[in-house]
Structure 1
Amino acid sequence: MRSCPACGTANGESDDFCGNCGSYLGWSSEPVRPGRAREPEPVPEPEPESPPKPESVLEPAREPGGNPAAGSEPESVPEPAPEPAVNPAVNPAVNPAAEAEAQAPEAAPDPGPPARPEAPARPEQPPEADPADEPIGAVRPGKPVARRPVVRPVAADEAPDGPPCPACGTPNLPGRKFCRRCAAPLRVREQPAALPWWRTMWPFRRRVRGGSGRALRRTLLVLAVAGLVLAGFLFFPLGRYVFEDVRDKLGGTAEISPTGVTASAAAPGHPASAAIDGLTNKYWGAPALGASLTCSFGTPFRLVGIVVHTGVSKEPQEFRRGARPTRADLLVTTEDGKVHRKTVTFNDKPGKQTVRMGISDVRSVELVLREAAGQGEGRPVAVGEVEFFRRT
């Protein structure tokens, strides 16, 4: 078993991560078998070097065959008198071995038969120096010794019958919290179910918890819907007007021609039909103020605007010579018989005068002249052209 270095939980030998805290087990110490302690490994100690032993007795001379010469006996060499110790490291120029070789007598050449060789003189060995007097140098570290292999019994491979890891698929025991191979958490939180589309929009995108005032919210929602229905019933005309007005501004317009036109009075040569013929050089002439021009339509429509051309002509000189209306009343009759009255004021200059309207299901429009400019004897009040526009 392997103990976790973080929490101390016992894990299997083949586990790489702790099953309790998910720590990596590779940084922990070697696993220890219960009932068997690890034996400390001995560290070899370096053997001390033995000082060289001085040779006091010379070996007898040997013949070429390797046996000592006959009649020869070992001769004892008297020990030399002790001399003061010389440290080669301090004075490298002084070498006792070289000095002994220089003092040895040279052998003279003998022309006769070869004589028995004499034993060479041994160089004098310097006395051992005191270790305390030697300088302190570098010390080589001990040679590392390879650890002896330890034979451990092989345990049976763990084959848990638990749930597989969601990351690598390795089976784990039921009590583990982390995978024994990749340390992935085994207890994955369940993802909440996706919200419906209407819950993703404000103010419904807040997640509702069980028993958190659901009945109260439903009651408030029913009351809000009931209030909207009541407000729509009470303010229906105003709401419809706003709705239609928005449609008038966003939609297009097209001109519509009346199916019939009548006038309460007309000057000679200036009939009522001249006001809807599409020409501005002809006009309807009202002999006096209070005269009216009525245009009727075969199909109800949404009236969004009226354009009125006042005066006898668009030319400034001709415009000033005739009488022209400056104020009039518009009476719009719808299909249900309701009459909408609107007073309009015209500018005293040539060109078209635009009147904005917004009435549905229009059947007829009546123009009643109330004030005029440039009136004189024999000058009728001139209305050059009247155009009607509907919503498309």
Structure 2
Amino acid sequence: MRSCPACGTANGESDDFCGNCGSYLGWSSEPVRPGRAREPEPVPEPEPESPPKPEAALEPAREPGGNPAAGSEPESVPEPAPEPAANPAVNPAVNPAAEAEAQAPEAAPAPGPPARPEAPARPEQPPEADPADEPIGAVQPGKPVARRPVVRPVAADEAPDGPPCPACGTPNLPGRKFCRRCAAPLRVREQPAALPWWRTMWPFRRRVRGGSGRALRRTLLVLAVAGLVLAGFLFFPLGRYVFEDVRDKLGGTAEISPTGVTASAAAPGHPASAAIDGLTNKYWGAPALGASLTCSFGTPFRLVGIVVHTGVSKEPQEFRRGARPTRADLLVTTEDGKVHRKTVTFNDKPGKQTVRMGISDVRSVELVLREAAGQGEGRPVAVGEVEFFRRT
């Protein structure tokens, strides 16, 4: 068994990575592989034979006073062995085996391994001294030893019959989380299915799981849509007016000419057509207040503004010579026959007077004079020019 150095889980002898945490097992103790031959031990060299040394006389240890030490037993101290006398007759350069062959040539001994010389008797060692009598010296402190992790036993049979590793294909046990060869995770998380296109749009692109409030969100969405539809039906005119007004402000304008013009009354030499001829030196002259000028159009359009030039001329000296309107009513008729009424006030000065409108499907516009300034005998109320603008 090989224990994991990180979590202590027991693993097989052939595993390289831990099955619980995926740590590398190479830092743990290396197991002994079976089938590995042991190296032979070296045979000691035979020592040369030496003559036995005489035993030395044992004398009791004495104190400095000459008396033997009390409580101490006599110790045997071996004397140095005398050196063997040199034999002048023996020549070390002569081989004894060759000399024996020369002396007995007729007897041929059988070849065999040479006899190993007997080991000399070792001298007796003196008895060890009592450790209590020896002085105590300095010692090194002991090295701390870490406790070994407790290894949990595993079953003897660890045949890897589980699914193979998705990375290297090595079979592993069913309970392992990481591969025993490459430490790849064995439990691969499944990829979620692709979302439909409408789920990629906000606010539907958020992934949800079952029972996380999806039904409540759908109910609130349906209620919100139903409320918007109901509000549209209830406030449709107001909503349409706001929508068209925004378009009027953001869009452009263009002048549109009426296809026909009529007046309820006109002064001699100042017909109703003079109010739409594009010139400000001619004017429509109303003989009295209450007279009206009606302009009709061939196709309905979105009326966004009306420009009115009052007085007989735009020059200040000529402007004061004639009567000019100061208040009038605008009656706008749409294609469905509905009439929109608006009262406008004009400034008593030369130049154009702009009136902003915002009415769709206009078919005709009627200008009714209500008040005027500078009236007198033989001085009709003059309207120099009337221009209409549509939305583009």
Q: Scaled by the length of structure 2, what TM-score is found? A: 0.64
1-side partners of 2:42 and 2:108: how far apart? 61
Residue 113 of structure 1: CA displacement?
54
Q: Tell me how far apart the structure 2 counterparts of residues 377 and 263 of structure 1 sit (CA, whole Å).
A: 21
Structure 1 stretch displaced more, 178-187 or 291-300: 178-187
CA gap 1:189/1:338 in 2 versus in 1, 3 angstroms: same
Aligned length: 392
Q: Deviations over 1:229-252 (max 9, x none)?
A: 222222221122122222222322
- Taking a change above 3 Å as real, the CA distance of residues 56 and 177 of structure 1, as seen in their structure-2 partners, is closer
The answer to which of 134-143 and 71-80 deviates more is: 71-80
1:324, 1:348 within 8 Å by CA — same for their partners in 2? yes
Measured after TM superposition, the shift of residue 219 of structure 1 is: 3.8
Moved more, 220-229 or 151-160: 151-160
Change (3 A) 1:50 1:377: farther
| Residue number in structure 2 paired with 1:195 | 195
Q: CA deviation at 1:112?
A: 59
The farther-off stretch of 173-182 and 216-225 is: 216-225
Of stretches 121-130 and 324-333 in structure 1, the one that deviates more from structure 2 is 121-130
CA contact (8 A) 1:88 1:95 kept: no
- 317-326 or 155-164, which deviates more: 155-164
1:306 aligns with 306
Equivalent position SS for 1:204:
coil
SS at match of 1:84: coil
The separation in 2 between residues aligned to 1:361 and 1:329, in whole angstroms, is: 19
Q: Mean Cα displacement is larger for which, 260-269 or 168-177?
A: 168-177
Q: Structure 1: how far apart are the matches of 2:132 and 2:225?
A: 110
From the superposition, tell whether residues 24 and 149 of structure 1 become closer, same or farther in structure 2 (CA, over 3 Å). closer
TM-aligned CA deviation for residue 137 of structure 1: 18
Identify which range, 142-151 or 40-49, moves more after superposition: 142-151
Pair 1:196–1:106, CA change in 2 (3 A): closer
Contact map agreement 1:2 1:10 (CA 8 A) in 2: yes
Cα deviation, 1:347-382, whole Å, max 9, x if unaligned, reads: 222222211111111111000111122223322221
Gaps of 5+ in 2: none
Q: Secondary structure at the match of 1:383?
A: strand
What is the deviation of 1:91? Answer: 44
Q: Which residue of 2 aligns with 1:93?
A: 93
Secondary structure in structure 2 of the residue aligned to 1:132: helix
Aligned to 1:266: 266
Mapped partners of 2:144, 2:250: distance in 1: 95
* 1:301-323 superposed Cα distances (whole Å, 9 cap, x missing partner): 11111111112222222222222
Q: 312-321 or 18-27: which moved more?
A: 312-321
Does the 8 Å contact 2:276/2:387 carry over to 1? yes
Q: Deviations over 1:198-247 (max 9, x none)?
A: 44555444433323454444444433333322222222211221222222
Q: Deviations over 1:99-138 (max 9, x none)?
A: 9999999999999999999999999999999999999999
**How far apart are 1:72 and its partner, in Å?**
52
Tell me which moved more, 141-150 or 362-371.
141-150
For residue 123 of structure 2, give the secondary structure of its aligned residue in structure 1.
Answer: coil
Q: Provide the rounded CA distance (Å) in 2 between the counterparts of 1:113 and 1:224.
A: 112
> Which moves more between the two structures, 283-292 or 153-162?
153-162
Measured after TM superposition, the shift of residue 48 of structure 1 is: 19
CA-to-aligned-CA distance 1:9-68 (integer Å, 9 cap, x gap): 343455332111111112112114699999999999999999999999999999999999
The answer to whether the 8 Å contact 2:48/2:119 transfers is no
Residues 12 and 46 (structure 1 numbering): CA distance in 2 closer, same or farther, change over 3 Å? farther
Distance 1:150 1:346, change over 3 A: closer
